[in-house]
Structure 1
């Protein structure tokens, strides 16, 4: 803008003084070495203007050429970035169509000069995983992990892929690096839930359950089912270990949980194995009288022996109360069958089968009938069981 203003001033001055220059041409003499120049002042001024204009033109041309040369050095880089965007778009479309091979190739190419290479590499790893190309998948993930901000995302992704692959040991190593805690993100906690169950690491899952409940990762029904599964597994393991582990596991349960029939049944079975049978029988009979459940009746049939005559009498006294309870009928049938009293066992198996057709009950009834010599009836019972599939 300043340069244009200077030009305008020069032109205006030239217009103002040109009449005087034309009227009085003047005289100019220049001597440079052996060269001598004689000319009028008017011609000299015109020559200077033309020379300056040519000088400006040469400057413009030189600057333009320099800019062209410098910018041409970056043209291939621009072309590569443009190609990378194109490959990324094609890869995303291929992922949407689940064309895993095309997606892997496009995303891998797009990662070379892409704006966010880690995203391309993660997408390529996903496509490779779906093709069971584990080596390529791991290579993509290793490259993506070089980006510091993507390290945790890569760790989570690698854990998920290893879990889906069935490599539980390697998946656990990756999960331990992520260190699932209350501060972890939901995907990490969900992976921990799935992996702990796959490895049957019930103690780790038990420690994780309060966090799962606090963050509401699972629905209430799913959380209750997972808690039940975890606690039952822990009680079962403890009952097979020793009495100290059983007591430790039992008191690990909350007060409300220690009132649930499923846990009481397993705890009683464990007590009976460690010479605390009387305590177990007392606990089970108390539970039968208050709020009996299938798990309690099943535990009663497992804990009681033919020598527990008094306990069996207490059960028989409840016949009127549980005349329509198939679990009660099945429990007594098992107790009589343990005592080789096949006549009574047949009666109770018949009651159980009358209340509910069950394949196992029908086979047990057939066994009792065979011991009593009722072969035709036993054959019919097995046919009925076969019909149930």
Structure 2
């Protein structure tokens, strides 16, 4: 703009001053080597103005050409990016729809010109796994890793896909490689927790629980359930490896709080019964029923195979003194009396349990008891009642 203004000023000055110089223009002599050029001052001024005008015009043309070239490149580049975005968006939609083959094809085509090629490769890896093509999945993951823009996202995606494919050992290796650098990542910790559950690595899961609670990856209730599951799993493993003696030694090494938890006591008793250590299991039940007469533990008494059921019967009868309307205690006593062949006592307790609450299992026990008492008619009538209870109710 300034250059054009200067040019216009020079032309106006020439128009104003030109007439005054007419007839007394003077002259200019230019000598170079053996050549001489002679002209009037007016002609020189006009030539200089024209030279400047030519330079300005040439600069303008060159700038326009470069601008046009840049615009053209920008247009092609924008068109390429727009096409890549459309391919990626369409591919993501196909991925959500479960059309793995088409999703993989679209997101891979969208890599060229994509603003985020890492996401394209990660989506392609998921689509490849959806098709069951683990080889291509790993190839896409490696291409994503080569970008190096977000190694956590790539490695975490790798671990998730390995977990979903059932490659738990591989997933564990991938997760452990990230854990030191990301000890508070809740997604990572939850994936590690799920992997330990699949691998039944109970000790590792117990070690992980404090970290899960610290970052609030699980609620207190979930943590308690996980702890019980892990402890029960660990007891089953120890019972298999070391028998009932090793199991009892492990039990005694647990904290006092753990040894008072009903689910863990039930797990211990179940494992002892499975190892034919019923007498030891009864001692555990008896001691805990003194402190906490929990129905879960009461229901386990009839599962014991004891040489003499009299002490167990005495213990359960004693519990009825504190809660005579407990159907679980009546049912357990009925089963113990049945085993001892004391049919009238068994009948009394089963009927009392059913009076408090209907239960298909107790109906079955009572039917067997009535048959032992040679009361077939009553047994048949009771069977029909039990059948009505077992059948689903129609609205």
> Which TM bucket (shorter chain)?
0.7 to 0.9
Q: Name structure 1 gaps, 5 residues minimum.
A: none
| Residue 300 of structure 1, CA deviation | 2.9
CA contact (8 A) 1:269 1:303 kept: no
Q: CA deviation at 1:292?
A: 0.6
**Aligned 1:55-70 pairs, distance under 5 A:** 55-65=55-65, 68=68
Residue 80 of structure 2 corresponds to 80
**8 Å contact 1:122–1:140 — kept in the other structure?**
yes
Contact 1:30 1:38 in 2 (8 A): yes
Q: Does 1:234 align with 2:216?
A: no
The number of residues matched between the two structures is 389
d(CA) in 2 for partners of 1:117, 1:90: 15
Kindly provide the CA deviation profile for residues 8-59 of structure 1, in whole angstroms up to 9, marking residues without a partner as x. 7755765675355323133456677897755433224323332342244234
| Larger displacement relative to structure 2 (206-215 or 317-326) | 317-326
Q: How does 1:32-111 map to 2 (within 5 A)?
A: 39-65=39-65, 68=68, 72=72, 76-91=76-91, 104-111=104-111
Matches within 5 A, 1:234-383: 234-240=234-240, 241-243=242-244, 245-247=246-248, 249-251=250-252, 253-267=254-268, 281-303=282-304, 305-342=306-343, 344-383=345-384
Provide, for residues 112-147 of structure 1, a one-character-per-residue CA deviation record: whole Å limited to 9, x for no partner: 211121123334445555666666554443332333
**TM-score when normalising by structure 1:** 0.78
Describe the shift of the 1:124–1:55 C-alpha distance in structure 2 as closer, same or farther (beyond 3 A). same
Cα 1:360–1:145 change in 2 (3 A) is farther
Change beyond 3 A, Cα 1:138–1:385:
farther
Compute the displacement of 1:243 (Å): 4.7
C-alpha RMSD of the superposition: 4.0
- Structure 2: how far apart are the matches of 1:248 and 1:111? 60
* CA distance in structure 2 between the aligned counterparts of 1:224 and 1:181, rounded to whole angstroms: 27
Higher deviation after alignment, 151-160 or 62-71:
62-71
Contact 2:353 2:362 in 1 (8 A): yes
Q: Distance in 2 between matches of 1:292 and 1:349?
A: 20
Distance in 2 separating the partners of 1:14 and 1:171: 86
* Cα distance between partner residues in 2 of 1:374 and 1:163: 59
The normalised TM-score by structure 2 is: 0.77
Q: Which residue of 2 aligns with 1:23?
A: 23
| More displaced 10-residue stretch of structure 1: 153-162 or 135-144 | 135-144
Q: Which residue of 1 aligns with 2:192?
A: 192
Is the 1:159–1:175 contact (alpha carbons within 8 Å) kept by the matching residues of 2?
yes
Q: What is the distance in 2 between the residues matched to 1:383 and 1:362?
A: 10
Residues 1:244 and 1:144: Cα distance change in structure 2 (over 3 Å): farther
Output the CA distance in 1 between the equivalents of 2:159 and 2:351. Answer: 53
Contact 1:305 1:335 survives alignment (8 Å):
no
Which sits farther off after the overlay, 87-96 or 49-58? 87-96
Structure 1 residue 186: Cα displacement: 0.9
User: Alignment partner of 1:87: what SS?
Assistant: helix
